[in-house]
Structure 1
Amino acid sequence: MIKLDLQSKTPLYLQMEQQIIDLILLGCLKENDQLPSVRNLARELGINPNTIQKAYQDMENRGLIYSVVGRGNFVASPSAAENLKRQECMAELEKLLLAARRAGISAQELHMAVDAAFETGKEDDLQ
């Protein structure tokens, strides 16, 4: 389910969060599905339980999961993950557009590139 890259510069808890978000977006984890317990997941991944707890706490603070005392952690509405992913994409797009503007790329060129990307995406969806 979750695979961590111990050589990555990305902190383990963030790797774990991103993979859980991806599993929610892919529909592998559905609303109200129970996540593995902190201890079990820490044992399975061979990492400190505090790392798991930090990821779970961060995801709960962001509305991605919720906890029930004595029962565990559960997936919240997938819309929370979708909204988060959308916000991340928009932030990246803003950075990219600023860089494009600084590079002298016109709005018309950007519109053409966006249109072309969406057309390519439509073709990919059909295959």
Structure 2
Amino acid sequence: MIQLDLKDRRPLYEQIKEKTKLLIIRKVLKANEKIPSVRELAQSLTINPNTIQKAYKDLEAEGFIYSVQGKGSFVAPIEDSINSVRQDELLKELGKVIAELRYMEVSKSQLIDYIDAIYKKKEDK
């Protein structure tokens, strides 16, 4: 399910975190679905369990997963109250990206077209 790119300069835990988020966002992993344990994922990826633990800790802090003592980790249901802080963080990041794109002379209409295309893909599914 998750494959790591050893040529990627980002730390492994960041790759795991990003790929898990994508699986959740694309609804491959559904709300309240159990995700692989730290040990299972570490064995399948042949990496240190502490790396998985760090990724899971970050995912939980961002509201993508939750843990149940003795049961494991699960995909968190979407709740606006939990996600509002993360939405604010992402909008700030988007602002930085847009500022850089403006510097590179990408027009507002190009950005709007790109955003519309992303939303259209979601509607087509």
Shift of 1:113: 2.8
Cα–Cα, structure 1 residues 98 and 114, in superposed 2: closer, same or farther, change >3 Å?
closer
Distance 2:58 2:34 in 1: 17
Shift of 1:101: 5.1
Counterpart code for 1:97: I
Partner SS, residue 96 of structure 1: helix
Match of 1:113 in 2: 110
CA contact (8 A) 1:65 1:73 kept: yes
Cα–Cα, structure 1 residues 7 and 72, in superposed 2: closer, same or farther, change >3 Å?
same
Match of 2:22 in 1: 22
Partner SS, residue 14 of structure 1: helix
Cα–Cα, structure 1 residues 10 and 103, in superposed 2: closer, same or farther, change >3 Å?
closer
Cα–Cα, structure 1 residues 46 and 93, in superposed 2: closer, same or farther, change >3 Å?
same
Distance 2:98 2:42 in 1: 40
1:91 aligns with 2:92: yes
Partner SS, residue 99 of structure 1: helix
Structure 1's unaligned 5+ residue stretches are none
Cα–Cα, structure 1 residues 94 and 77, in superposed 2: closer, same or farther, change >3 Å?
same
* Greater C-alpha Rg: 1
Counterpart code for 1:117: Y
Counterpart code for 1:14: E
Q: TM-score, normalized by length of structure 1?
A: 0.75
How many pairs does the alignment contain? 121
1:50 aligns with 2:40: no
Match of 2:4 in 1: 4
Structure 1's consecutive aligned runs of 4 or more residues displaced over 6 angstroms after TM superposition are 122-126
For the aligned residues, what is the CA RMSD? 3.0
Match of 2:40 in 1: 40
Shift of 1:99: 3.2
Identity among equivalent positions (%) equals: 39
Match of 1:67 in 2: 67
Distance 1:122 1:52 in 2: 32
Structure 2's unaligned 5+ residue stretches are none
Q: Deviations over 1:51-74 (max 9, x none)?
A: 011111111111111111111000
